[in-house]
Chain A
């Protein structure tokens, strides 16, 4: 029950007026970026990183987590009303949700998405609170080789397991790993791939890469599209759900939660994977499977619950092991590092107040979000009436603002443009973007763990598989790499490509 008292202490931190304000800003921004197409939570956190240099660490991190949760809420709105998912975890929601909107049932679809997100967010945050101390205990027994194995698993699941091509996923990952080599080597101080350019000594900024790939790459891709997207479906009638809607929704919410949380908390893909699996489960279990594809409410309730639960689940490895499993988590890790904090087991000892304040404010953020999203839904829909030229002009202005604010050198801006063009090219040819960001952040960490493990074992490579934990983890990584390849070769790859995880 120690979690419980720690959580109560956290709540007292989280109830401080300033912290409440940060949480409110976070969830409001998160909902806004979730609603707006073209910007997701990963990009928003990346944009805000430089702005928060001078602010309170606890408040800033709470704001980032609020953005992550808010993005999951807001994403459903565009999926349902516009059939253009605001972020990747809401792609499945668009299938049934947009059908419901076409039939004039947009209101109940939005309601089941918001309430489902609330239920899932609440349960999953409590699970996070009770699970985290256990994982921390476990984490203290892990050495460099186990961490290295965990990171290998994260690399494989982020790049090769889902999506329609392991080759393209791995290529993205290796581009990220290659970029990660730039800069001073953490263990020996050797300068790698810097070519004497001082700006490259610190390595490639996560913010620059993420902003370029997500914002500039996306803007170029959208601008170059020849087919204009679908029109919007107005919300007719009330957002109230009927008794029948409730009856059909609540089980889907719970199932979504218990599918989403484990997926998020294992290094096995992020919220997009969870939402897809939940959709598949609902479709299998439905009493009226014929309704699927024509606006079945379960197909909105389940995935929306699942993506929120997965977002909370992602925080388990991030906080307890320092292991990001999605692009947003990777950028949040950069946020921790910016304040000199290293997520991992020690964080729970050294900064217990901050961690529990963060977890507790997620509970509060969740309540804020349901209030922001249900009664105020009309306000968010108005955001969608911003003309696209102004919207993308603004996005690019903010995108460059972050880089200019940290380091206004032509080198940094040049890299921003270069990676932006790379992001555009990657989108054109179906290369996922998220593995690049994860590779850039996890790459140096994996290298350090590998070299530490080898130093302990005096250069004996078999040390990597000498403990059961590391051997099993590396084995699972190999399975996740090879099995999907075989599935694709046998023409069973459609399932995997539908789960195509990207962006957030």
Chain B
């Protein structure tokens, strides 16, 4: 269910999309189950059978979702502001991309700064600075004191010596 900005769409289309995702999930499970060795033992129920049941359940639910979409039963979401969502997603993807290059502190600063920007806090450079400070403290506490293994980059190497 990765609808981007559904406010632009009629809710029934969203229902069809949801149904398609559910059906897709079911197909993935069924194809995977087909490739498993059927080894039911005494139970007569092997590793592929319960996933199959779940997949059939998903197919039924997908069909019912289509029906409810035709009847317009799906609640219509309130109007959504797309920009904040993009800012936060950008922050998350930025952190994912930079984590192993720049380290936890820098990537965390980007996530924090862009999220705060998404919630309307300006300017961005100040958000990033606050995020940098916070991520720095978190790295110090969790990596150094609590021995959680957070990825370090050049800055962590420089200050904490790796």
Closest to A190 in B: B47
Q: Return chain B residues, CB-CB under 8 Å to A396.
A: 88, 91-92, 111-112, 115
Is A229 at the interface (CB under 8 A from chain B)? no
In the bound complex, how far is the Cα of B17 from the Cα of A425, in angstroms? 11
Cross-interface CB contact of B61 among A54, A167, A429, cutoff 8 Å: A167
Known A-B contacts A393-B127, A454-B44, A455-B42; A223 and B96 likewise in contact (beta carbons under 8 Å): no
Taking the closest CB of chain B, its distance from the CB of A167, in whole angstroms, is 5
Interchain residue pairs with CB less than 8 A apart (8): A178-B26, A181-B50, A190-B37, A220-B89, A408-B151, A421-B1, A429-B1, A431-B1
- Asked if B159 is at the interface (CB within 8 A of a chain A CB), the reply is no
Give the residue of B1, B91, B100, B146 whose beta carbon is less than 8 angstroms from that of A422: B1
A327 contacts the other chain (CB 8 A): no
B61 proximity list for chain A (CB < 8 A): 167, 170-171, 174
Q: In the assembled complex, which residues on chain A have CB atoms less than 8 Å from the CB atom of B89? A: 220, 417, 421
Binding site for A on B (CB under 8 A): 1-3, 6, 11, 14, 18, 22, 25-26, 28-29, 32-33, 36-37, 39-48, 50-51, 54-55, 57-58, 61, 64-65, 68, 73-75, 77-82, 84-85, 87-89, 91-93, 95-96, 99-100, 104, 108, 111-113, 115-121, 127, 130-131, 134-135, 138, 142, 146-151
- Pick from A171, A226, A447: contact of B78, CB under 8 Å: A226
Q: A410 at the A/B interface (Cβ < 8 Å)?
A: yes
CB distance from B133 to the nearest CB of A (A): 11
A322 to B149, CA, bound (A): 31
Q: Contacts A397-B135, A404-B150, A459-B43 hold; do A225 and B81 have CB atoms under 8 A apart? A: yes
Residues B112 and A408 in contact, CB atoms below 8 Å apart: no
| 6 A-B pairs with the lowest CB-CB distances in the bound complex, closest first | A459-B44, A389-B121, A223-B84, A389-B119, A389-B116, A455-B43
- B46 touches which of A54, A188, A450, A458 (Cβ 8 Å): A188
Shortest beta-carbon distance from B86 to chain A in Å: 10
| CB of A50 within 8 Å of the partner chain | yes
Q: Is the CB of B74 within 8 A of A390?
A: no
Residues of B with C-beta under 8 A to A425? 1-3, 6
- Indicate whether A51 reaches chain B with its CB closer than 8 angstroms: yes
Q: Name the contact of B88 in the complex, choosing from A185, A219, A387 (C-beta under 8 A).
A: A219
Could you tell me the distance in whole angstroms from the C-beta of B118 to the nearest C-beta in chain A? 5
Q: Is the CB of B112 within 8 A of A394?
A: yes
A268 at the interface (CB under 8 A from B): no
- Bound: A54/B87 CA distance, A: 35
Q: Is the CB of A224 within 8 A of B82?
A: yes
- Which A positions have Cβ atoms within 8 angstroms of B? 50-51, 53-54, 165, 167, 170-171, 174-175, 177-178, 181, 185, 187-188, 190, 192-193, 216, 219-220, 223-227, 387-390, 392-394, 396-398, 400-401, 404-405, 408, 410, 413-414, 416-418, 420-422, 424-426, 428-431, 447, 450-452, 454-456, 458-459
Closest to A416 in B: B92
Label chain B's interface by main secondary structure: helix
* A227 CA / B33 CA spacing, docked (Å): 46
* Docked CA distance A174–B58 (Å): 7
9 more A-B residue pairs beyond the given contacts A174-B54, A225-B78, A405-B149, with a C-beta to C-beta distance below 8 A: A181-B29, A224-B81, A224-B85, A226-B78, A389-B120, A393-B127, A396-B91, A404-B151, A454-B45
CB distance from B134 to the nearest CB of A (A): 6
CB distance from B29 to the nearest CB of A (A): 6
Which residue of the partner chain, among A192, A393, A456, contacts B113 with CB atoms under 8 Å?
A393
Q: A408 touching B149 by the CB < 8 A rule?
A: yes
Known: A181-B54, A417-B96, A424-B85. A392 touches B150 (CB 8 A): no
Residues of B within 8 A of A456 (CB): 42
Report yes or no: A193 in contact with B127, Cβ–Cβ below 8 A. no
Decide: B95 and A394 in contact? CB cutoff 8 A. Answer: no
In the bound complex, how far is the Cα of B32 from the Cα of A227, in angstroms?
44
Known: A181-B29, A190-B37, A404-B104. Is A397-B78 also a contact (CB below 8 A)?
Answer: no
Indicate if the CB atoms of B65 and A51 lie closer than 8 Å. no
